[in-house]
Amino acid sequence: MTQTSENVTWLTQEAYNKLKDELEYLTGPARTEIAAKIAAAREEGDLRENGGYHAAKEEQGKQELRVRQLTQLLENAKVGEPPASNGAVAPGMVVTIAFDGDEDDTLTFLLASREYASSDIETYSPQSPLGSGVIGHKVGDDAEYELPNGKKASVKILKAEPYNG
């Protein structure tokens, strides 16, 4: 999974390959497709009132932003092993916590960068207040993190397992 240390991003080989494949698609077939859309819209005439042209240009801008993000991420990536299943919270793990020690008020989430966000499980960044508060703690530990209002919140680590998604 992902762990950021300064500008280095740690990725599993599987994650690195997935992001590299996405970058290759965006810089190859996807660029050709968007160029064709822009060319077709241009042929329709007046560009000032051409919704298809403006939509294609906007799509192209978003695509190029993603290309820059992926390029930077992969340039700074170090490929390594997924986290060990030793009960210590680390990026790439599915973590279950109890708020204020209340075992009925729990949250299960993936501790990873947004590259891993999916609809299957909520994802928290290791740099988020909750993420940075639980990293390094073991199952059974209490951890504290700072809320946006400046107050401290306490959670108990109930479970920490490597993500297999």
Which pTM was predicted? 0.56
| Domain presence at residue 47 | yes
- Kindly state whether residues 49 and 75 are assigned to the same domain: yes
| Domain presence at residue 87 | no
- 31: nearest Cα among 64, 66, 74: 64
Range of the domain at 63: 3-80
Q: 38 vs 11, 29, 43, 101, 134, CA distance in Å?
A: 35, 14, 9, 56, 47
- Kindly state whether residues 125 and 72 are assigned to the same domain: no
| Domain presence at residue 88 | no
**Strand ranges inside 13-134, DSSP E:** 77-80, 93-99, 106-111, 123-124
Q: Which helix (H) or strand (E) holds 55?
A: helix 51-75
- Kindly state whether residues 99 and 73 are assigned to the same domain: no
- Kindly state whether residues 69 and 129 are assigned to the same domain: no
Q: State residue 20's pLDDT score.
A: 92
Q: State residue 155's pLDDT score.
A: 93
Neighbours of 137 (CB within 10 A): 21
- Kindly state whether residues 107 and 150 are assigned to the same domain: yes
Q: Do 132 and 72 touch, CB atoms closer than 8 A?
A: no
Q: Which helix (H) or strand (E) holds 129?
A: helix 129-134
Q: 115 vs 3, 56, 99, 156, 159, CA distance in Å?
A: 12, 24, 26, 26, 23
- Kindly state whether residues 33 and 68 are assigned to the same domain: yes
Q: State residue 116's pLDDT score.
A: 63
- Kindly state whether residues 26 and 67 are assigned to the same domain: yes
Total domains in the chain come to 2
- Kindly state whether residues 97 and 75 are assigned to the same domain: no
What's the chain's Rg over C-alpha atoms?
21
Domain of 16: which CATH number? Answer: 1.10.287.180
CA trace torsion 82, 85, 89, 94 (10° rounding): 70
Q: State residue 1's pLDDT score.
A: 46
The pLDDT profile of the chain, 165 residues, written as one tens digit per residue, is 444 444 556 676 777 888 899 999 999 999 999 999 999 988 887 777 888 888 999 999 999 999 998 898 888 777 765 566 677 888 878 899 998 767 788 999 988 876 666 667 788 888 889 988 998 899 999 999 998 898 999 999 999 988 765
- 70: nearest Cα among 24, 110, 31: 24
Domain of 150: which CATH number? Answer: 3.10.50.30
Q: State residue 2's pLDDT score.
A: 45
- Kindly state whether residues 67 and 134 are assigned to the same domain: no
Domain end call among 55, 80, 105: 80
- Kindly state whether residues 100 and 138 are assigned to the same domain: yes
- Kindly state whether residues 11 and 45 are assigned to the same domain: yes
- Kindly state whether residues 59 and 107 are assigned to the same domain: no
